[in-house]
Structure 1
């Protein structure tokens, strides 16, 4: 009888703790992080900066953290979710008290020379808290639905007041995605988003606003438990949305207003608020089909796009790798989302499934908005491209979320270690 090699047995034992993690998901995320460093280096080639290797360094730390989380049973988060929720809100309050300001917002806390952005980590905190709440009682009833919204409203408001419009929108996407997966009535989700749509239509296309309000009245009547009261309430809310929109508009900072308006006509302020978008579209268009080659993009190498290594990294991809490179990046993100959805569907319990869907919602929204704003289809909201854009707090957050999802995959069945 053949005897097994002791070295083979030793390696099997070494990796036994991660036996069931999704290696494809891990490889795709690590690959995108490495690719991000390459593109960041290209944007800084003539500036002598070293953000690209910092991107890899933080990614390496994040990967280590993710691997430790992956071998830790995710069910333990159920006992810790209120503690995590409290720490999340305390950190967001601390930013408003002792945080440092930059570019018109107070979002960072400086610790030993390292700037942490609590709003990034708050995304994971909200995902864990909502998953714990919804696994205990699904959002199929109105009380459970409203409870989930109330819990999310606190960190959302704290982030919005920093002000950080982009991250607050991510919170909204996470909440909608997890409520949908948690059996919330789709009509309730439409009604939840209806005031925002009414604000836009009221100021842009009044007949469309009238039709939308009537449609919301019908949805409220058909889906809410209090049919008549709900229908009247939906009409009132959408009628008031226009005026409330004006009030909220005055709350926003000037640079946030520019980001919302100028994407429709960036040529209105070509040397100010519209400059980023104009240069980004020129760069992506210049890439054509195959791109100008890595480190050869004229807009990128001549630094026409300020801070390109962060929110506008996709413009460098479009210019230097072309349409084909952009499609390849989108395809990799699609594969990552597919693996996340697979883990959500095969999780052994609702808690694990909701965790995976929360991370999926966060990723999908950030990718869509970031790419849309670089090509002029959405306002510039300051949302980074996950795993690719430079941002230490964002990178750590992505890998912490990855570790939690990998833990869900790892413990789909109880493993026995010998």
Structure 2
């Protein structure tokens, strides 16, 4: 498909996806109230106000991102990629160390987490790479180059160590390979090699730390170490189960308010919300996520070119992965990896990344009639 380079067909704010924005703001509002409730009697009290600032800033950067022609983003993809690699190296050299991990660069009073922004750059880079291949059948050279582009920052983030964020790069690569035209035989070979690599990484003891291995296995039977590696999963399951159908009510969750549930405003916010608002509230939140993802896929289908579709589907892949892993973690189906729940979990870097990614989606939508 020929590249759209002009501004003709740009619909302006009248063509903005206001329905999508409304659903996103609804989720963010739920997030603010839940963070307030979950942190009311803790040292994190007041974090809901900071979250409101991040959301407000996120909406602003989303509108700004939607105004920049996404083809310009594609044109600077490799430059942005190089900058991201340098920032990840800088984290290793001068980054702030918190709880044994070096993931942030301190800039004045703020902490900048480069690994979050790498996700957005990889979405743009992978879209640019596969769109330039023109939809032809992928050679092994094409496949290995794509793996290398994603694998290098992934290894740098793993070394911080930050397993959760590194894993979020995987769906970007998989979405690109799938939509880029990988043959099923190539996919089968890669899956086999991937399984062998996972076994090798697990056995080597050099890449994954002992506590990371414990987290990855404790969800299978958390009662084996109820006060250690299984503690978080057990408390989360208790919180979700005690919510029942209608929940215990805002500010009334025994696990959340009793400070048994770990970091209820961030990684385990869905558990805190489920305890206070029950199955009904959890169902409403999951339904909102489902409708948002379907809306994003619809925008991918109406994109003006292949690069636009790849950009939106890259965003869909990351958000779907994060939602599935976080919710699965909370209910004991997935290991604890520290992956935040998009638009719900507290955190400036995560919030801004999500809104920037949504800005890219809006960007593609607003130029879908460009020719």
Name the counterpart of 2:361: 405
User: Using the alignment, how far apart are the partners of 2:336 and 2:198 within structure 1?
Assistant: 23
Name the counterpart of 1:387: 343
User: Using the alignment, how far apart are the partners of 1:146 and 1:74 within structure 2?
Assistant: 26
* Contact in 2 for aligned 1:176/1:189 (Cα 8 Å): no
Alpha-carbon spacing, 1:396–1:194, altered in 2? closer, same or farther (3 Å): same
* Contact in 2 for aligned 1:37/1:56 (Cα 8 Å): yes
Give the 3-state SS of the residue equivalent to 1:251 in structure 2: coil
Kindly state the Cα deviation for residue 57 of structure 1 after the two structures are TM-superposed.
0.6
Give the 3-state SS of the residue equivalent to 2:63 in structure 1: helix
Structure 1 unaligned regions, length at least 5 = 1-14, 198-237
* Contact in 2 for aligned 1:120/1:167 (Cα 8 Å): yes
Do structure 1's residue 35 and structure 2's residue 38 form an aligned pair? Answer: no
Name the counterpart of 2:70: 74
User: Using the alignment, how far apart are the partners of 1:241 and 1:86 within structure 2?
Assistant: 27
Trace 1:14-413 onto structure 2 (pairs within 5 A). 17-47=12-42, 49-137=45-133, 138=135, 140-142=137-139, 143-197=141-195, 238=196, 242-243=199-200, 245-247=202-204, 249-413=205-369
* Contact in 2 for aligned 1:288/1:322 (Cα 8 Å): yes
Q: Deviations over 1:232-252 (max 9, x none)?
A: xxxxxx4x86455311x4431
User: Using the alignment, how far apart are the partners of 2:182 and 2:299 within structure 1?
Assistant: 21
TM-score (norm 1): 0.82
Q: Deviations over 1:199-219 (max 9, x none)?
A: xxxxxxxxxxxxxxxxxxxxx
Name the counterpart of 2:3: none
Higher relative contact order (CA 8 A, sep 6+): 2
User: Using the alignment, how far apart are the partners of 2:201 and 2:72 within structure 1?
Assistant: 42
User: Using the alignment, how far apart are the partners of 1:405 and 1:325 within structure 2?
Assistant: 28
Q: Deviations over 1:157-196 (max 9, x none)?
A: 1111111111111111111012111222244334323345
Name the counterpart of 1:221: none
* Contact in 1 for aligned 2:304/2:370 (Cα 8 Å): no
User: Using the alignment, how far apart are the partners of 1:33 and 1:276 within structure 2?
Assistant: 25
Give the 3-state SS of the residue equivalent to 2:345 in structure 1: coil
Alpha-carbon spacing, 1:166–1:191, altered in 2? closer, same or farther (3 Å): farther
* Contact in 2 for aligned 1:139/1:145 (Cα 8 Å): no
Alpha-carbon spacing, 1:35–1:285, altered in 2? closer, same or farther (3 Å): same
* Contact in 1 for aligned 2:159/2:207 (Cα 8 Å): no
Q: Deviations over 1:54-113 (max 9, x none)?
A: 111101001001011112211111221111111111111111111111222111111011
How many residues align? The count is 359
Instruction: State which structure, 1 or 2, has the greater radius of gyration over its C-alpha atoms.
Output: 1
User: Using the alignment, how far apart are the partners of 2:136 and 2:230 within structure 1?
Assistant: 42
Kindly state the Cα deviation for residue 370 of structure 1 after the two structures are TM-superposed.
0.3
User: Using the alignment, how far apart are the partners of 1:135 and 1:327 within structure 2?
Assistant: 37
User: Using the alignment, how far apart are the partners of 1:136 and 1:414 within structure 2?
Assistant: 19
User: Using the alignment, how far apart are the partners of 2:11 and 2:143 within structure 1?
Assistant: 40
Structure 2 unaligned regions, length at least 5 = 1-9
TM-score (norm 2): 0.93
